[in-house]
Structure 1
Amino acid sequence: MFEHLVSFKFKEALSPSKEAELLEALHALKTQVPGIVELTAGRNETLETGNIQGYMLGLRVTFTDRQALQDYGPHPAHQSFVAMLDGLIENVIVIDYPIV
């Protein structure tokens, strides 16, 4: 299995409705993209305020294998979500690793 971690930093604060829309789209990926074992997404609520650094949403996806992770990037449902971020994102951190 492969783990996919993403942290999103936005250019400005999201409205509650925009945040809810993005989180709903992220959660929907679990049923839209083959090879996803588990998916969680949410707002960063860390109490370690020095560590937020503006990254306000997080995503964790567990894939069946490396191929499922590779197929996720170009999948139309994922690309539709990426299009929703147009003009909103300042930075994104992505970490992928095999689960051993």
Structure 2
Amino acid sequence: MYEHIVAFKFNTNYQPQKERLLVETLLALKDQVPGIVELTAGVNTTEETDNIHGYTLGLRVTFEDQEALRLYGPHPAHQAFVKLLEGIIENVVVIDYPIQK
């Protein structure tokens, strides 16, 4: 299995009322993209304000294997989410790694 972790940092064009749409769109990917074992997404609520660095939204996806992770990027449902980020994203941090058991 493979883990895919993403943190999103938004620019000044971002409107917080859009958070619900972004989270709901991410959560819907579990039923739309083959190979997803588990998916969680949400707005950052950390109380460690020194460590937030402006990253507002988090995503964690567990994939069956590396091939499922590779097919996720170009999948139309994922691309529809990416389109929602146009003009509002400042930075994205992505970490992918195989799950060790």
TM-score range, shorter chain: over 0.9
Alignment of 1:54-93 (within 5 A): 54-93=54-93
- Give the secondary-structure state (helix, strand or coil) at the position aligned to 2:30: helix
Structure 2 counterpart of 1:14? 15
Structure 1 counterpart of 2:49? 49
| C-alpha distance after superposition, 1:31-68 (max 9, x if no partner) | 00000000000011111101100000000000000000
Structure 2 counterpart of 1:4? 4
- Give the secondary-structure state (helix, strand or coil) at the position aligned to 2:7: strand
Deviation at 1:4, TM superposition (A): 0.1
Which stretches of structure 1, 4 residues or more, deviate above 2 A after TM superposition? 12-16
CA RMSD, Structure 1 to Structure 2 (Å): 0.8
Q: Where does structure 1 lack aligned partners over 5 or more consecutive residues?
A: none
When normalised by structure 2's length, the TM-score is: 0.95
Deviation at 1:21, TM superposition (A): 0.4
Once residues 64 and 10 of structure 1 are traced to their aligned partners in structure 2, the CA distance between those partners, rounded to angstroms, is 30
Once residues 49 and 15 of structure 1 are traced to their aligned partners in structure 2, the CA distance between those partners, rounded to angstroms, is 18
Structure 2 counterpart of 1:96? 96
Deviation at 1:15, TM superposition (A): 2.4
Deviation at 1:14, TM superposition (A): 2.7
The percentage of counterpart residues that share the same residue type is 67
- Give the secondary-structure state (helix, strand or coil) at the position aligned to 1:3: strand
Q: How many residues align?
A: 99
Alignment of 1:24-39 (within 5 A): 24-39=24-39
Q: Where does structure 2 lack aligned partners over 5 or more consecutive residues?
A: none
When normalised by structure 1's length, the TM-score is: 0.96
